[in-house]
Amino acid sequence: MESLFEKLTQLTQIEFLLLTVCLTIIIFLLTIYSLNKEKKKLTKTVENNVKIFQKTCDISEDAIMILSAKNEVLYANDSMVRLLQFNNHFLSQQLDTIAEIKVKKDWIVLDTLIKEHSINLDDTVLSYPNSNLKLSEGDKIPINFYMDTILMSSSNEEICHVVTIQDLSKEIERSNLHFRHQLTNLPNQLQAYQDLPAFFSKAHLEKNKLALMLMHLDNFSMLRSIIGYEQANDVLKKFARHLETVGINLNISVYHTFDNHFLLTVTNLHSMEEAKTFVKDIQTRLASFYKMEDVNLHLTVSAGISIYPDSGSIRKLLDYAYRALAKAEQEGDGKIHIFIPEESTSNYDELRLHNDMQGALNNGDFEVYYQPIIQVETKEIVAAEALIRWKHPQYGLIPPDVFIYLMEKTGFIVKLGQYVLEEVLKQQKRWELFKFKQIEVSINVSMVEINTGEFVQHVERKLGEHQINPELLKFEITEGVAMINEAETVRHFLALKKLGVGISLDDFGTGYTSFGYLKKFPADNLKIDKSLVDYILTNEEDQRIVKAIIELAHTLGMKIVVEGIENKKMVDMIASYGCDYMQGYHFAKPLPVFEFQKLLR
Ligand code: C2E
Ligand code: CA
Ligand code: CA
């Protein structure tokens, strides 16, 4: 070190200057070299990022393009190229398309729309969700449209537009699939639920009969095991096409509800006999209907028919058709059975029940049972349904299905309803005093009670009398019934909600409420009927329906209760669909209050 220093001091001035210049040049070169390296690295990173973004956009199903301030296409991904049908040389060219977007009621050329928005350089994204794109007359695609204008530098010249178009046709197609049977493409049970209200009002207004005909090909499981799965599906498809043709000719709607079951709705029916003749005609044609290797396959069909108004209330019309079908099956293959209302109460003398009602109420022969409602998430009892029982001196315990219908006819249901409300409120007070867990109790209410016009005031008065928090009370109304006098019902229920009590739409899936109506109905809960979950473990159609109902109710902000849960498998399956609450024999049957309380403890 010292010798180097000595050598340096011995240098002449000129030599020292030269050395300094050399060193400076070396340092300069080194700096340039390292700066260049940094810059290259940075450029590389930017290039990589751009590549990643471009790849992401390339594979996106949404159509994306970037336009310059002058509307030249700087980038378009494959989806956009396909959607707007660009030719091969679109890059760096003026946007050239005849595409029009629907904005409110007008069709605006895409080009014009972009130009108009680019003047307006605020932060907002221009968006037209659920719009339409038109490329040629008659060819409209449902889309979501978004456009954002990005300022690249402070001068307004350097801007670009990012345009995104989401093609919704596939999604719509998928949701339409919800309403079709996968095998035969006929409308399915879900579609039937949607359509039935319209059929009902039509029959009602035109004073025509409405028939629901459920048909099934007999011994189908056996047939399937003999001729094989593929061949059996062919039979179903052919039968479906046959019914469809008959349907088109006679203005009958045909649904493939599940497996080998079909539902036909006949609106312009004049007599019961006509319904029978119609089915017989189908049965006759079935004989020569499916050939296997030149041999006619022997097929028979059984049918259960319910007819409004002959069979009774519309609310149960589909249930009745199922009951009639079960009867037909019992009688053998190829039988037709028409439901007549006496069948449901035939074990009881209606007149006797009718005469005994008032006395029973005075004697305390009615008792409120409670069935727990379980919250899926916590597996705890969070509510209960109050279900009435009649301990009759001659008949023993009579199930409500037998007498409620009679009480509705005579108006006695109003008194019974008041009794149940009184009992439940008293019980709530007792639970409060004895420090039981406070739970909400649901009471079934009949439309007859609501239509007295005094129901809401009565509830308000009773809540005040017993000093019960209205949030601990809910009313259940059967869906089909609730829609008969739509506007009135909604008005009454809004008044109830104002009091702070809850509303449940009961037996959902049996009463043909259209989804459109559901939106208007101020219900907190929707109870999916037992009949929709009875065969859920094996019936994929029912699985899809229940899933779809749950999704729909959730989008409308309602909670879901599924009734009729009878085993662990059902719990698991239905919980996986996102159901909120469950009720059923798996947890507990309806119990007298003392038994029920033990569960609460
Ligand atoms: P709901 O409102 O649909 O009540 C549910 C019915 O399903 C009850 O029948 C209940 O016992 C039954 N259930 C619950 N879980 C299961 C299960 O896992 N498996 C099976 N097989 N059944 C189950 P219930 O008590 O016979 O009542 C029948 C109907 O009578 C009720 O149907 C309701 O519409 C009506 N009802 C009952 N109490 C009253 C009342 O106080 N007032 C009015 N207006 N109607 C009532
Ligand atoms: Ca109920
Ligand atoms: Ca129910």
Residue 7 has pLDDT above 80, yes or no: no
Count CB atoms within 10 A of the CB of residue 292.
11
Predicted confidence at residue 36, as pLDDT, reads 83
Query: What is the rounded CA–CA span in Å between residue 108 and residue 294?
Result: 60
Ligand 2 geometric centre to CA of 275 (Å):
33
Query: For residue 548, is it within any domain?
Result: yes
Query: For residue 10, is it within any domain?
Result: no
| Whether residue 285 sits in one domain with residue 380 | no
Query: For residue 351, is it within any domain?
Result: no
Predicted confidence at residue 44, as pLDDT, reads 82
| Whether residue 184 sits in one domain with residue 169 | no
pLDDT tens digits for range 259-314: 999 999 988 777 878 888 888 888 888 877 777 777 777 888 999 999 887 776 66
Ligand 1 geometric centre to CA of 387 (Å):
6
Ligand 3 geometric centre to CA of 529 (Å):
5
Predicted confidence at residue 22, as pLDDT, reads 72
Ligand 1 geometric centre to CA of 530 (Å):
10
* Highest mean pLDDT, choosing among 76-90, 296-310, 376-390: 376-390
Q: Give the ligand 1 atom nearest the CA of 476.
A: 2
Query: For residue 355, is it within any domain?
Result: no
Ligand 1 site, residue 420, Cβ cutoff 6 A: yes
Residue 264 contacts by C-beta under 8 Å, 6 or more apart in sequence? 211, 212, 213, 215, 243, 247, 252, 253, 254, 255
pLDDT tens digits for range 467-499: 999 999 999 998 766 666 777 888 899 999 999
Per DSSP, which regions of 45-138 are E strands? 63-68, 73-76, 100-103, 106-109, 126-136
Q: What pTM does this model have?
A: 0.54
Is 187:179 a contact under the CB 8 Å cutoff?
yes
**Token digits of residue 4:** 């180097």
Predicted confidence at residue 285, as pLDDT, reads 83
Residue 426 has pLDDT above 80, yes or no: yes
| Whether residue 226 sits in one domain with residue 286 | yes
Q: Give the ligand 1 atom nearest the CA of 399.
A: 26
Q: Which residue has the tokens 């209760």?
A: 561
- Which domain CATH number covers 382? 3.20.20.450
| Whether residue 401 sits in one domain with residue 485 | yes
| Whether residue 512 sits in one domain with residue 415 | yes
Residue 154 has pLDDT above 80, yes or no: no
Ligand 1 site, residue 372, Cβ cutoff 6 A: no
Q: Give the ligand 1 atom nearest the CA of 369.
A: 25
The bound ligand whose nearest atom lies closest to the alpha carbon of 449 is 1
| Whether residue 226 sits in one domain with residue 116 | no
**C-alpha distances in angstroms, 587 versus 121, 372, 397?**
61, 7, 22
Q: Whose CA is nearest to atom 2 of ligand 1?
A: 444
DSSP letter at 183 equals T
Nearest to 64, CA basis, from 52, 49, 50, 78: 78
Q: Whose CA is nearest to atom 4 of ligand 1?
A: 387
Last residue of a domain, one of 119, 145, 173: 173
| Whether residue 314 sits in one domain with residue 228 | yes
Query: For residue 5, is it within any domain?
Result: no
| Whether residue 189 sits in one domain with residue 252 | yes
Beta bridge partners of 441: 384, 473
**Token digits of residue 364:** 């305390």
Ligand 1 site, residue 310, Cβ cutoff 6 A: no
The band of 461, judged by pLDDT with boundaries at 50, 70 and 90, is very high
Last residue of a domain, one of 119, 138, 173: 173
Least confident of 140-149, 253-262, 304-313, 403-412: 304-313
Q: Which residue has the tokens 């080009």?
A: 111
| Whether residue 401 sits in one domain with residue 543 | yes
Range of the domain at 242: 179-344
Query: For residue 398, is it within any domain?
Result: yes
Q: Give the ligand 1 atom nearest the CA of 413.
A: 44
- Which domain CATH number covers 192? 3.30.70.270
Beta bridge partners of 146: 127, 164
Ligand 1 site, residue 404, Cβ cutoff 6 A: yes
Ligand 3 geometric centre to CA of 284 (Å):
39
**C-alpha distances in angstroms, 199 versus 240, 272, 310, 473?**
21, 17, 16, 35
| Whether residue 567 sits in one domain with residue 596 | yes
Last residue of a domain, one of 288, 314, 344: 344
Ligand 1 site, residue 311, Cβ cutoff 6 A: no
Query: What is the rounded CA–CA span in Å between residue 47 and residue 59?
Result: 18
Query: For residue 9, is it within any domain?
Result: no
Nearest to 534, CA basis, from 213, 46, 81, 189: 189
The band of 249, judged by pLDDT with boundaries at 50, 70 and 90, is confident
When divided into structural domains, the chain yields a total of 4
The band of 512, judged by pLDDT with boundaries at 50, 70 and 90, is low
Query: For residue 22, is it within any domain?
Result: yes
| Whether residue 455 sits in one domain with residue 340 | no
- Which domain CATH number covers 79? 3.30.450.20
| Whether residue 428 sits in one domain with residue 305 | no
